[in-house]
Amino acid sequence: MLLWSLVSTHVWGPGSVLLILVFLLRLSVRLWYKCHLWDLQHCCTDLTGKTAVVTGATSGIGKAVSQELARRGARVILACRNRERGQWALAEIQAASKDACLLLGEVDLSSMASIRSFAQWLLQECPEIHLLVNNAAVCGLPKKLTPEGLDLTFATNYVGPFLLTNLLQGALQRAGSARVVNVSSFMHTSGYIDEEHLTGAGRPLTFNQNYYCSKLLLTSFTGELARRLQGTGVTVNSVHPGVVYTKIMNQFPWSYRFLFWLSSFFIKDPQQGANPILYVSLAKELDGISGKYFSSSCVITLPHKAAQDPHVAQSLWNASVKLTHLNKAD
Ligand SMILES: NC(=O)c1ccc[n+]([C@@H]2O[C@H](COP(=O)([O-])OP(=O)(O)OC[C@H]3O[C@@H](n4cnc5c(N)ncnc54)[C@H](OP(=O)(O)O)[C@@H]3O)[C@@H](O)[C@H]2O)c1
Ligand SMILES: *[C@@H]1O[C@H](CO)[C@@H](O)[C@H](O)[C@H]1NC(C)=O
Ligand SMILES: *[C@@H]1O[C@H](CO)[C@@H](O)[C@H](O)[C@H]1NC(C)=O
């Protein structure tokens, strides 16, 4: 009451009241996250001698994940499509932890040719890979075909990780025990599966539905890959980081971006967004857990029905093998 009478006097005015309310709200959001995020500090997983690959490490969640992995002693391959942005991220992470062992790799996940040459280079550099985080993604893009005849959004968010994961399978298995983590999104539940989308055909998609559908495909694959890798020591899971303020909305119209900016005060920052991904990557209690989808509160959750159907997943796998010309020699 006293506070209220104090702030509502003319000296303070309604503007300040609003400011204080916003501040208090922000504080409670902070506290809420503090209590609900996985306790990273108490996880003692040490990654010395381990190799981790993070795609899309130039910004947002990918950069935050890479930084924590490097801090724990891993040799981290920052897989970026733009060399200059990659070098910036590398310098930033190096500055934050002096002993970080980082390597920059160039890969455009929307291009199968680029992924193949990246994988070839990577397998020479690192015959064993202990962790692969499929994090890079785009959203808000209109339908557009890549020179290889794939839809750009589906190529980047689904076909790219599919091909990369498969090409690195040998190195993951050689590591003895390895994890694959796909960064999905809760928005995958608004998608549906139509394999024709991969090549820009199929049922028409409304604005940003290509993002939802591509994330659904990614989630569907968790199950299929897990089934295929059973008993190899490689586990695969997907996870939703939560709603995080990053440059993911850069392709959206300015009105969306403005709303996103306004909300930035109340949603996660990239470090907090990295938390569920780090949980799935590091937590000891997840040894042997595979084929699951984790919510942003680090809880195993059932994904969209379509992503639970093994027949759909197998058919999608077959279509993806054909599209990427994946064969036994890979
Ligand atoms: N932010 C959220 O609220 C939210 C919610 C749910 C899920 N996610 C997921 O979290 C992941 C990380 O997103 P973010 O929020 O950190 O977004 P971000 O800041 O936009 O980061 C995306 C990263 O992906 C890279 N990338 C995009 N296209 C690429 C390509 N063709 N080849 C290689 N790299 C490419 C970007 O590289 P450049 O620097 O070259 O652009 C960037 O490093 C994504 O999988 C996203 O779907 C985010
Ligand atoms: C990740 O997604 C790729 C396809 O994009 C798939 O091959 C792989 O099985 C998925 N792994 C996980 C952990 O979901
Ligand atoms: C996928 O391909 C395999 C091997 O070619 C085949 O046995 C299986 O029936 C196919 N699955 C679906 C659902 O198309």
Distance 20 CA to ligand 1 centre (A): 33
**CA dihedral of 249, 250, 252, 254, whole degrees rounded to 10:** 110
**Ligand 3 pocket check for 315: Cβ under 6 Å:** yes
pLDDT of residue 15: 82
Distance 224 CA to ligand 2 centre (A): 8
**Ligand 2 pocket check for 133: Cβ under 6 Å:** no
Tell which atom from ligand 2 comes closest to the C-alpha of 236: 13
- Say whether 219 sits in a helix, a strand or coil: helix
pLDDT of residue 266: 85
Distance 314 CA to ligand 3 centre (A): 7
Average pLDDT over residues 78-104: 96
pLDDT value at 89 more than 60:
yes
Residues in the chain: 330
pLDDT of residue 328: 67
Site to probe by mutation for ligand 2, drawn from 53, 165, 169 as the one with most ligand atoms within 8 Å of Cβ, is 165
Minimal-distance CA residue to ligand 3 atom 12: 315
- Max distance between CA atoms of the chain, in angstroms, equals 77
Which listed ligand is nearest to 268 at the C-alpha?
Answer: 1
Which listed ligand is nearest to 131 at the C-alpha?
Answer: 2
Distance 248 CA to ligand 1 centre (A): 6
Residue entry with tokens 């303020």: 245
Residues assigned a catalytic role: 212
Distance 230 CA to ligand 2 centre (A): 14
Tell which atom from ligand 2 comes closest to the C-alpha of 219: 14
d(CA 316, CA 110): 18
pLDDT value at 12 more than 80:
no
- Say whether 318 sits in a helix, a strand or coil: helix
Question: What band does 18 get if pLDDT is binned at 50, 70 and 90?
Answer: confident
Average pLDDT over residues 55-82: 97
Average pLDDT over residues 112-123: 98
pLDDT of residue 185: 77
Lowest mean pLDDT among 72-81, 155-164, 294-303: 294-303
Helix (H) or strand (E) holding 148: none
pLDDT value at 115 more than 70:
yes
Tell which atom from ligand 1 comes closest to the C-alpha of 110: 31
Candidate CATH numbers 3.40.50.2300, 3.40.50.720, 3.40.470.10, 3.30.499.10; the one for domain 42-324: 3.40.50.720
Site to probe by mutation for ligand 1, drawn from 248, 259, 278 as the one with most ligand atoms within 8 Å of Cβ, is 248
Which listed ligand is nearest to 313 at the C-alpha?
Answer: 3
pLDDT of residue 225: 92
Site to probe by mutation for ligand 2, drawn from 54, 197, 222 as the one with most ligand atoms within 8 Å of Cβ, is 222
**Ligand 2 pocket check for 162: Cβ under 6 Å:** yes
pLDDT value at 4 more than 70:
no
Per the CB < 8 A criterion, the answer to whether 63 and 92 are in contact is yes
**Residue 244 CA neighbour count, 13 Å, CB half:** 25
Q: Residue 27: how many CB atoms within 10 A of its CB?
A: 10
Question: What band does 170 get if pLDDT is binned at 50, 70 and 90?
Answer: very high
- 122's tokens: 């990577």
Question: Tens digits of per-residue pLDDT, 177-195?
Answer: 999 987 887 778 889 999 9
Cα 324 to the center of its chain, rounded Å: 21
